[in-house]
C-alpha cells in the first residue's frame, strides 16, 4: 500500500502540554510518527489518549491553553521546502496553511455548519480563500464539488441552508468544504461517530473515493476499530498520549505486539464469544497530570513485567513497517503469550495466508 | 413570509381585543367618580343621568364594541379629570413625540456603542477590554440608577455648564437625559452581545471555519457576530416602539413633559378613561413590538421558516 515512500509529515519527539486549573497536563508525551504521501493512517485509542490533540497540531487548532513543549513537526508538502509546524505560533503563520495544506472533517455534522449561511456560500468561502475563484466561477465549482461528494440536485441544494439537510448529507457537505480547500492532508476526526450505522459506510466510502481520486493523504481519528479495518493502510495505536504500536493494518490486526493493542482487540464485540462476557480492560487510564514512570499501560496490564514499572520502553521493530513500544519485544524479556483471542486471530490470518499462498502456487483459470 | 406575518398579525389582534375587554371590564369596577370632575357636588340623580349619557349604563359588550369602534376611528375619548374634557389623543400626542424623540436619539447612540463594546469584549475575552466592559456593566446594573443620574446631573450642569431643564428649542438640554438613558442601554446591549458571541465562538462551525482557513477577523464578523446578533435583532423593534412610553425617572429628573409617569398620574387622579387608553396603548405597543421582532428575526435567520417544513433528506 505504501506505493509512495515520500514522507509528507514527520513528527519528531513531540511533547504537547496543557495548563488546566493551574496544573500542567502532559497530553502528548514524545510522539514520533511519519505520514506518507497518499496513505490512510488511522489513529486509534480511547477517549483522552490524545488522538485529537496530536492532529490539532497539524492544523494549528490546539486549544488556547495548550502548547508544543518540545519536538518538531516537519511538513514537506510546500514548494518552498520543509517547514516545522511546531514553530508556528501566531494566527498569521497558520493563515494560508490551514485548509490549503491540511483540512479537517469534524465529528458532528449537525453542528459543524454555519446555520445562517447557505451550503453553497460555505463551500464558496473556502474556494475563494484557497483556489482564488470568485463569483460565478466559485458557485459553479461549489456545485461541482457538491455533486462530487454525492449530493443529488446540487444546483438546488447549494441554495439551501444546513437545517434542510440530514446528518449524512451534512457530513457530505462538510467533506465538500474540506475538498474545496484542495488540501494535501485530510484529517477526519471521528467522521462517522455521530451518524447512523447505515450512513457510516457511505461516508467512509466517499472519503476513500476522494482520497483515491485526488491522491489525498488521510488521517482518521477513531475509536471504532471497524472503521479502521475498512479504511486504513496503517494504524497507530495511542495510549496515554503516546503511540504504543504502529504498523500496517494487517500487522496491527493480525500480529499485535503491545499488551494494550491485545487488550483493545480482545474487547472488540465482533471477536467476543456468544454467551461469554466481553473482555474489558480493567482500571482507568493514567492521570496525565502526573509524571508517568515506565510503561503507561503497566498498571492495567494483566501480566506486566517488572521493568514495565521502572523504565519506559523504546520502540522495538517487528518489521520495517511495524514497531511497538513494549519490553516484551526485548530479547531479554520473559515470554508472555498474547491472550487467546489474539492467538485465535493470528491463526485465522495464517490460515488465509496459507490459502493465498496455495492460490498463488496454483493459479486459477481466472487469473 | 407574508402569510406568516398576516397570521401573526391576526393573532396579535385577537390578543389585543381580549386585552381591551379585560382592561375595560376591570376599570368598570373602579369608583364612578373617575368619570366626573365635580363628582362631590353632584346629586345621585345627576350622576345617574351623567352615566347614562356617557353610555356607561349600557351592557358591557356594547360599551366595549363602542370603544373599539371609536378607537378604529382614531377617537380615544376624552379625559375627565386629568385635563377636563379635552380629547385624550390631543393630550398624549405631543408627549409621545417628546418621549419618542428622546428614546430614539438614545437608541441611535446606545445600539452602535453597545454592540461595538460587546464585540470588543467578546473578541478580547478575559483581557483588558473585557474587564473594563464588565466593570462598567456590573456598575450600571448593580448601582441604582438614581445614584449615577444624580452624578450626571450634578457634573453635567455645574461643571460642564450644560443646561439642565428641558427646553424644546435648545438641543443641549437633551444631552444629559440622553446620557442617563443611554448608559444602562449600552450596558445591556454589550452584555447580551458579548454573551451570545462567546457562546457562538465555542460552536463547532466556528472551529470548522477556522480549519478551512478563514482569517480570524472574517470569522469574528462574518460568522460569530452575524450569528450572535440574531436574538438582539429580535429585541430591537420592541425597544424602538417602547420608547414612546418614556422613562419615568429621567423625564421627571429633567422636567421633560413626556409620557413617563403619565400612567401613574392618571391612576392617582382616577381618570378612568385615560387609564384605559394608556394601558391599551402600551399593551398594543408591546404586542406589535413582539410581532415586528419575530418578523425581523425571521428575516435574518433562515431557520425560522414560515412555509410548510420541507422534508430534509
Mutate to test the interface with A, among B202, B206, B212 (most CBs of A within 10 A): B212
Q: How is residue A23 written as a grid cell?
A: 496544573
CB contact under 8 A, B204 and A108: yes
- Whole-number Å distance between alpha carbons of B264 and B245: 12
Gyration radius (Cα) of chain B, Å? 25
Give the Cβ contact number of residue A265 at 10 Å.
22
Whether B40 contacts chain A with CB within 8 A: no
Cβ atoms of A171 and A152 within 8 Å: the answer is no
Q: What is the pLDDT of residue B255?
A: 85
Q: What is the pLDDT of residue B158?
A: 83
CB contact under 8 A, A163 and B226: no
- Whole-number Å distance between alpha carbons of A112 and A339: 41
- Whole-number Å distance between alpha carbons of A194 and A198: 12
Cβ atoms of A20 and A79 within 8 Å: the answer is no
**If you average pLDDT over residues A63-85, what whole number do you get?**
91
pLDDT of B13 above 60: yes
pLDDT of B159 above 70: yes
- Give the fold, CATH level 3, of A239-357: Rossmann fold (3.40.50)
| Cβ burial, residue A299 (10 Å; 0-12/13-18/19+) | middle
Q: What is the DSSP string of A42-65?
A: EEE--TTSSHHHHHHTTTT---TT
Higher pLDDT, A1 or A281: A281
Q: What is the DSSP string of A164-192?
A: GS-HHHHHHHHHHHHHHT--SEEEEESTT
CB contact under 8 A, A96 and B213: yes
pLDDT of A140 above 90: yes
Q: What is the pLDDT of residue A366?
A: 44
Q: Which residue in the set A98, A106, A164 is minimally distant from B213, CB to CB?
A: A98
Contacts of A98 in chain B (CB under 8 A): 210-213
- Min Cα distance A157 → chain B (Å) is 11
Q: What is the pLDDT of residue B43?
A: 84
User: Angle at Cα A327 formed by Cα A326 and Cα A332, nearest 5°?
Assistant: 150
Q: What is the pLDDT of residue A282?
A: 87
ipTM confidence score: 0.83
- Whole-number Å distance between alpha carbons of A232 and A41: 5
> Which of these, A264, A185, A221, A207, lies nearest to A44 by C-alpha position?
A221
CB contact under 8 A, A98 and B211: yes
Which stretch of A303-307, A317-321, B19-23, B25-29 has the lowest confidence by average pLDDT? Answer: B25-29
Torsion of CA B246, B252, B254, B259, to 10 degrees: 30
**If you average pLDDT over residues B153-172, what whole number do you get?**
83
Higher pLDDT, B308 or A279: A279
pLDDT of A363 above 70: no
**If you average pLDDT over residues A337-355, what whole number do you get?**
77
A79-115 pLDDT tens trace:
888 999 999 888 888 988 999 999 999 888 889 999 9
Q: What percent of chain A has pLDDT over 70?
A: 94
Q: What is the pLDDT of residue B146?
A: 85
Contacts of A164 in chain B (CB under 8 A): 310, 312
Q: Which helix (H) or strand (E) holds A16?
A: strand A7-20
CB contact under 8 A, A61 and B310: no
**Backbone phi and psi for residue B38, each to the nearest 5 degrees, phi listed first:** -130, 45
**Sign, CA torsion B297/B298/B300/B302:** positive
Beta strand residue intervals within A190-252, DSSP E: 217-222, 234-239, 242-248
Please report the number of interchain residue pairs, chain A to chain B, with beta-carbon separation below 8 angstroms.
85
Give the Cβ contact number of residue A331 at 10 Å.
5
Contacts of A129 in chain B (CB under 8 A): 212-214
Cβ atoms of A94 and A60 within 8 Å: the answer is yes
Q: Which CATH architecture has domain B93-274+287-300?
A: Orthogonal Bundle (1.10)
> Which of these, A29, A70, A69, lies nearest to A50 by C-alpha position?
A29
Q: Using N-to-C axis directions, what is the helix angle for B88-123 and B272-300, rounded to 10°?
A: 40
pLDDT of B36 above 90: no
Whether B195 contacts chain A with CB within 8 A: no
Intra-chain end-to-end CA distance of chain A, in Å = 21
pLDDT of A3 above 60: no
Q: Give residues with Cβ within 8 angstroms of B214, minimum separation 6.
A: A99, A125, A129, B222, B223
- Min Cα distance B115 → chain A (Å) is 20
Q: What percent of chain B has pLDDT over 70?
A: 97
A156-199 pLDDT tens trace:
999 999 999 999 999 999 999 999 999 999 999 998 888 888 88
Q: How is residue B71 written as a grid cell?
A: 378607537
Contacts of B223 in chain A (CB under 8 A): 114
Q: What is the pLDDT of residue B1?
A: 66
Q: What percent of chain A has pLDDT over 90?
A: 57
Q: What is the pLDDT of residue A335?
A: 84
Q: State how far the alpha carbon of A164 is from the alpha carbons of A109, A123, A179, B269, in Å.
A: 13, 16, 21, 58
Per-residue confidence band for A216, with pLDDT thresholds at 50, 70 and 90: very high
The pLDDT mean for chain A works out to 88
- Whole-number Å distance between alpha carbons of B239 and B104: 9
Q: What is the pLDDT of residue B310?
A: 44
Q: Strand A83-84: give its sheet, edge to edge.
A: A23-36, A7-20, A66-75, A83-84
Q: How is residue B152 written as a grid cell?
A: 450626571
Per-residue confidence band for A314, with pLDDT thresholds at 50, 70 and 90: very high
- Min Cα distance B186 → chain A (Å) is 26
| Element counts in chain B: helices (H) and strands (E) | 14, 0
Q: Give residues with Cβ within 8 angstroms of B198, minimum separation 6.
A: B122, B125
Q: Which residue in the set A91, A103, A113 is minimally distant from B205, CB to CB?
A: A113
Q: Which residue in the set A113, A118, A129 is minimally distant from B214, CB to CB?
A: A129
> Which of these, B254, B192, B155, B211, lies nearest to A102 by C-alpha position?
B211
CA A28 to chain CA mean position, Å: 15
Which stretch of A39-48, A164-173, A221-230 has the lowest confidence by average pLDDT? Answer: A221-230
Q: What is the pLDDT of residue B305?
A: 66
Q: What is the pLDDT of residue B306?
A: 58
> Which of B:114-153 have CB within 8 Å of A?
none
Q: Strand A322-324: give its sheet, edge to edge.
A: A102-105, A185-189, A217-222, A40-44, A234-239, A242-248, A322-324, A316-319
User: Angle at Cα B148 formed by Cα B142 and Cα B154, nearest 5°?
Assistant: 170
- Whole-number Å distance between alpha carbons of A235 and A42: 5
- If you measure CA to CA, which chain A residue comes closest to B227? A116
Contacts of B214 in chain A (CB under 8 A): 99, 125, 129
pLDDT of A336 above 90: no
DSSP helix/strand/coil, A69: strand
Whether B219 contacts chain A with CB within 8 A: no
Can you give the length of chain A in residues? 367
Q: State how far the alpha carbon of B231 is from the alpha carbons of A16, B104, B124, B227, B234, in Å.
A: 39, 20, 21, 9, 5
Q: What is the DSSP string of A315-326?
A: -EEEETTEEE--
pLDDT of B254 above 90: no
- Whole-number Å distance between alpha carbons of A333 and B150: 84
pLDDT of A365 above 70: no
Domain definitions of chain A by residue range: 239-357
DSSP helix/strand/coil, A81: coil
Q: What is the DSSP string of A256-273?
A: --SHHHHHHHHT-GGGSP
Q: What is the pLDDT of residue A5?
A: 64
Q: What is the pLDDT of residue A119?
A: 94
- Whole-number Å distance between alpha carbons of A105 and A181: 12
Q: Which residue in the set B215, B226, B230 is minimally distant from A95, CB to CB?
A: B215
Amino acid at each position: 500500500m505504501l506505493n509512495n515512500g515520500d514522507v509528507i509529515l514527520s513528527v519528531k519527539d513531540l511533547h504537547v502540554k496543557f495548563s488546566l486549573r493551574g496544573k500542567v497536563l502532559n497530553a502528548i508525551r514524545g510522539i514520533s510518527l511519519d505520514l506518507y504521501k497518499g496513505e490512510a493512517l488511522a489513529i486509534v485509542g480511547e477517549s483522552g489518549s490524545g488522538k485529537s490533540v496530536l492532529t490539532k497540531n497539524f492544523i494549528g487548532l490546539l486549544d488556547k491553553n495548550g502548547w508544543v513543549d518540545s519536538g518538531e513537526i516537519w511538513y514537506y508538502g510546500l514548494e518552498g521546502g520543509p517547514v516545522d509546524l511546531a514553530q508556528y505560533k501566531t494566527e498569521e503563520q497558520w493563515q494560508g496553511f490551514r485548509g490549503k495544506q491540511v483540512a479537517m472533517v469534524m465529528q458532528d455534522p449537525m453542528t459543524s455548519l454555519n446555520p445562517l449561511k447557505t451550503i453553497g456560500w460555505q463551500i464558496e468561502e473556502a474556494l475563494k480563500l484557497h483556489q482564488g475563484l470568485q463569483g460565478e466561477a466559485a458557485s459553479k465549482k461549489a456545485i461541482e464539488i457538491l455533486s462530487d461528494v454525492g449530493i443529488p440536485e446540487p444546483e438546488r441544494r447549494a441554495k439551501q441552508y444546513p437545517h434542510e439537510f440530514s446528518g449524512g448529507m451534512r457530513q457530505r457537505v462538510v467533506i465538500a468544504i474540506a475538498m474545496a480547500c484542495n488540501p494535501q492532508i485530510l484529517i477526519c476526526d471521528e467522521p462517522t461517530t455521530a451518524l447512523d450505522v447505515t450512513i457510516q459506510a457511505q461516508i467512509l466510502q466517499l472519503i476513500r473515493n476522494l482520497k483515491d481520486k485526488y491522491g489525498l493523504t488521510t488521517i482518521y481519528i477513531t475509536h471504532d476499530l471497524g472503521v479502521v479495518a475498512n479504511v486504513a493502510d496503517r494504524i497507530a495505536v495511542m495510549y496515554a498520549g503516546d503511540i504504543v504500536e504502529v504498523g500496517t493494518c494487517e500487522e496491527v490486526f493480525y500480529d499485535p505486539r503491545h499488551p494494550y493493542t491485545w487488550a483493545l482487540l480482545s474487547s472488540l464485540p465482533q471477536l467476543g464469544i456468544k454467551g461469554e462476557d466481553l473482555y474489558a480492560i480493567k482500571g482507568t487510564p493514567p492521570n496525565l497530570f502526573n509524571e508517568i514512570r515506565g510503561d503507561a499501560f503497566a498498571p492495567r496490564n494483566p501480566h506486566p513485567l517488572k521493568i514495565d514499572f521502572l523504565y519506559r520502553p523504546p520502540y522495538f521493530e517487528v518489521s520495517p513497517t511495524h514497531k511497538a513500544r513494549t519490553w516484551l519485544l526485548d530479547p531479554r524479556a520473559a515470554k508472555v503469550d498474547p491472550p487467546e483471542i489474539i492467538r485465535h486471530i493470528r491463526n485465522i490470518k495464517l490460515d488465509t495466508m496459507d490459502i493465498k499462498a496455495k492460490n498463488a502456487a496454483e493459479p486459477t483459470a481466472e487469473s | 413570509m407574508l402569510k406568516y406575518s398576516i397570521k401573526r398579525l391576526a393573532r396579535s389582534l385577537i390578543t389585543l381585543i381580549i386585552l381591551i375587554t379585560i382592561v375595560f371590564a376591570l376599570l368598570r369596577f373602579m369608583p364612578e367618580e373617575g368619570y366626573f370632575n365635580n363628582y362631590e357636588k353632584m346629586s345621585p340623580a345627576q350622576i345617574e343621568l351623567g352615566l347614562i349619557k356617557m353610555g356607561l349604563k349600557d351592557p358591557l359588550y356594547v360599551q366595549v364594541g363602542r370603544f373599539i369602534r371609536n378607537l378604529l376611528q382614531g377617537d380615544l375619548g376624552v379625559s375627565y379629570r386629568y385635563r377636563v374634557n379635552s380629547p385624550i389623543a390631543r393630550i398624549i400626542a405631543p408627549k409621545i413625540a417628546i418621549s419618542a424623540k428622546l428614546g430614539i436619539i438614545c437608541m441611535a447612540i446606545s445600539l452602535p456603542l453597545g454592540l461595538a463594546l460587546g464585540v470588543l469584549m467578546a473578541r478580547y475575552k478575559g483581557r483588558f477590554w473585557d474587564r473594563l466592559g464588565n466593570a462598567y456593566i456590573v456598575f450600571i446594573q448593580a448601582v441604582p440608577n438614581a445614584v449615577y443620574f444624580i452624578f450626571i446631573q450634578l457634573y453635567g450642569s455645574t461643571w460642564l455648564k450644560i443646561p439642565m431643564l428641558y427646553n424644546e428649542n435648545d438641543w443641549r438640554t437633551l444631552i444629559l437625559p440622553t446620557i442617563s438613558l443611554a448608559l444602562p442601554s449600552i450596558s445591556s446591549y454589550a452584555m447580551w452581545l458579548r454573551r451570545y458571541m462567546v457562546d457562538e465562538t465555542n460552536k463547532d462551525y466556528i472551529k470548522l471555519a477556522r480549519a478551512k482557513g478563514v482569517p480570524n477577523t472574517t470569522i469574528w464578523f462574518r460568522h460569530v457576530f452575524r450569528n450572535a446578533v440574531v436574538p438582539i435583532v429580535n429585541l430591537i423593534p420592541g425597544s424602538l416602539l417602547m420608547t414612546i412610553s418614556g422613562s419615568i425617572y429621567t423625564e421627571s429628573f429633567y422636567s421633560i413633559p413626556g409620557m413617563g409617569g403619565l400612567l401613574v398620574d392618571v391612576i392617582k387622579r382616577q381618570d378612568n378613561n385615560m387609564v384605559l387608553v394608556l394601558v391599551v396603548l402600551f399593551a398594543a405597543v408591546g404586542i406589535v413590538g413582539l410581532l415586528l421582532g419575530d418578523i425581523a428575526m425571521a428575516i435574518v435567520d433562515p431557520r425560522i421558516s414560515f412555509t410548510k417544513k420541507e422534508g430534509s433528506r
